[in-house]
């Protein structure tokens, strides 16, 4: 029986993880649930799964959650610091990190520091502070099991292989809803268009990142740290069917891939169950439904975020952290129709140019770079709005 802390339980990954848990009550027990502001769903989940503790990080929601659960033996905490404490509890075996964005970093570091196995969905954690996170994991001898489908695929391909035998990895990208489109089309797209992903149903932020290809850029950086790769060992190929979830090419030229229907429950279940494979009744892939698979080079010119992320990965230091912060802010603004689709890349690029470079940042440096990048991005968006109206 594994005792789980599910951070971000009300999100797309969190709710699917709870479906996996509900299907295997003999294997998993929920010890902790956390959410930011969706008090209604958090209360419902707590009543169903009876965790030892729930954390609602938005302090305004604390009284409501506390009152709703007062008759049950469930501890209720609030604020980001509570997250860092509960993940370290003796009674937690595995932490599923499914908070979105930089906000998930500190709880991942706290979990690793306490020696907990981390099932990692929160890719921004490795984008921001990959070096810090992985060196702490090494020090504490902690396993980080990827949940992101591409990284789960690579992780599965590497089972039984030696790290030094990797020649390169090839991350697959669906291409998102605007595959094949050019800037004259993209200039007019709104959040409602960009939220229509062809293959995956996900949270709003990652869905926009998939439309701009920033998601694949973040995943390149995530892969670099997870698998200890050099920048030139990471490639991206567009595979619009999202059936081959990524490839590893070895030093003898042999290539392994992992395949399956695009359903995040699969990599979530794999990460929670690892090293065991768990039987399930999810729909199976059939070749009868797919007469062809397509593979294309990504369009780095139109989808500039992919080129920007590659540049950030190559520059290293605090640059990926700065890029991530600017991206979080522009995506939020795009969702509120405050910035255009193509302008998002302009803002991120300008922020990256302006922030002071730090080659080996500390945690405090990352926090400062994140704050400064957000302020700068907000100013740039404000200015661009003034020049339009
Ligand atoms: P989501 O927006 O659906 O859910 C995010 C969760 O984080 C919610 O429970 C929310 O309450 C919580 N949260 C938000 N802001 C918070 C804050 N400031 N402090 C504490 N908690 C906060 O997001 P998602 O799609 O489930 O994605 C979660 C993470 O997993 C992201 O990093 C994403 O890139 C990654 N991921 C998601 C998918 C997917 O299919 N959804 C696939 C691969 C990777
Ligand atoms: Mg992915």
Complete edge-to-edge strand list for the sheet that includes strand 53-56: 75-78, 53-56, 28-35, 2-7, 94-97, 117-120, 144-146
Work out the end-to-end distance of the chain between its first and last CA atoms, rounded to an integer number of angstroms: 59
With the most atoms of ligand 1 within 8 angstroms of its CB, the residue from 121, 269, 324 to mutate is 121
What lines the ligand 1 site, CB under 6 Å? 8-14, 35-36, 38, 57, 98-100, 103, 121-124, 148, 200, 202-203, 205-206, 264
Residue 388: per-residue pLDDT: 53
Q: Is the pLDDT of residue 266 over 60?
A: yes
Whole-angstrom distance, CA of residue 375 vs CA of residue 351: 9
Q: Which atom of ligand 1 is nearest to the CA of 37?
A: 11
Q: Which atom of ligand 1 is nearest to the CA of 215?
A: 34
With the most atoms of ligand 1 within 8 angstroms of its CB, the residue from 100, 127, 265 to mutate is 100
Arithmetic mean of pLDDT over the chain: 97
Q: What is the three-class DSSP state of 23?
A: helix
Q: What mean pLDDT comes out for the span 68-91?
A: 97
| Cα 348 to ligand 2 centroid, rounded to whole Å | 21
Whole-angstrom distance, CA of residue 66 vs CA of residue 68: 6
Q: What mean pLDDT comes out for the span 78-83?
A: 94
* Residue 119: strand pairing partners: 96, 145
| Tens of pLDDT, residues 195-220 | 998 888 899 999 999 999 999 999 99
Strands 255-259 and 244-250: antiparallel
Whole-angstrom distance, CA of residue 69 vs CA of residue 380: 44
Q: Which atom of ligand 1 is nearest to the CA of 206?
A: 34
| Tens of pLDDT, residues 314-371 | 999 999 999 999 999 999 999 999 999 999 999 999 999 999 999 999 999 999 999 9
Residue 389: per-residue pLDDT: 45
Give the number of whichever ligand sits closest to the CA of residue 101.
1
Q: Dihedral of CA 300/194/149/328: which sign?
A: positive
Half-sphere exposure of 180 (CA within 13 A, CB side): 4
Residue 200: per-residue pLDDT: 83
pTM: predicted TM-score of the whole model, two decimal places: 0.97
Q: Is the pLDDT of residue 163 over 90?
A: no
Domains of the chain, start order? 2-146 (3.40.50.720), 149-264+286-315 (no CATH), 316-389 (1.10.1740.10)
| Cα 35 to ligand 1 centroid, rounded to whole Å | 9
């Amino acid at each position: 029986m594994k005792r789980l802390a599910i951070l971000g339980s009300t999100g797309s990954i969190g709710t699917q993880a709870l479906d996996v848990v509900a299907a295997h009550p003999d294997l998993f027990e929920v010890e902790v649930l956390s959410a930011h502001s969706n008090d209604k769903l958090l209360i419902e989940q707590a009543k169903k799964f009876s965790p030892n503790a729930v954390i609602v990080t938005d302090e305004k929601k604390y009284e409501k959650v506390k009152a709703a659960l007062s008759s049950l033996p469930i501890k209720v905490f609030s604020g980001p610091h509570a997250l860092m404490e509960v993940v370290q509890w003796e009674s937690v075996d595995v932490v599923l990190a499914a908070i979105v964005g930089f906000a998930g970093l500190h709880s991942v570091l706290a979990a690793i520091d306490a020696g907990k196995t981390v099932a990692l969905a929160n890719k921004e954690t490795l984008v921001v502070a990959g070096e810090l996170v992985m060196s702490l994991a090494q020090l504490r001898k902690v396993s980080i099991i990827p949940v992101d489908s591409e990284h789960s695929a690579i992780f599965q391909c590497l089972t039984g292989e030696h790290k030094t035998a990797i020649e390169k990895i090839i991350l697959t990208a669906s291409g998102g809803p605007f595959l094949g489109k050019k800037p004259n089309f993209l200039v007019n797209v709104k959040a409602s268009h960009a939220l229509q992903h062809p293959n995956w149903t996900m949270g709003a932020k990652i869905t926009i990142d998939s439309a701009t290809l920033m998601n694949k850029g973040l995943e390149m950086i995530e892969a670099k740290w997870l698998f200890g790769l050099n920048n030139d060992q990471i490639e991206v190929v567009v595979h619009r069917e999202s059936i081959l979830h990524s490839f590893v090419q070895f030093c003898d030229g042999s290539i392994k891939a992992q395949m399956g229907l695009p359903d995040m429950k699969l990599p979530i279940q794999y990460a929670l169950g690892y090293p065991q494979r768990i039987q399930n009744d999810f729909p199976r892939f059939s070749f009868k439904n797919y007469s062809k698979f397509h593979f294309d080079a990504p369009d780095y010119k139109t989808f500039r975020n992919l080129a920007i992320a590659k540049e950030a990965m190559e520059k290293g230091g605090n640059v990926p952290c700065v890029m991530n912060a600017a991206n979080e802010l522009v995506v939020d603004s795009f969702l509120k129709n405050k910035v255009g689709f193509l302008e998002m890349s302009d803002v991120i690029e300008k922020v990256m140019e302006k922030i002071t470079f730090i080659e080996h940042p500390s945690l405090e440096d990352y926090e400062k770079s994140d704050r400064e990048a957000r302020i700068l991005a907000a100013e740039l968006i404000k200015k661009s709005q003034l020049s339009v109206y």
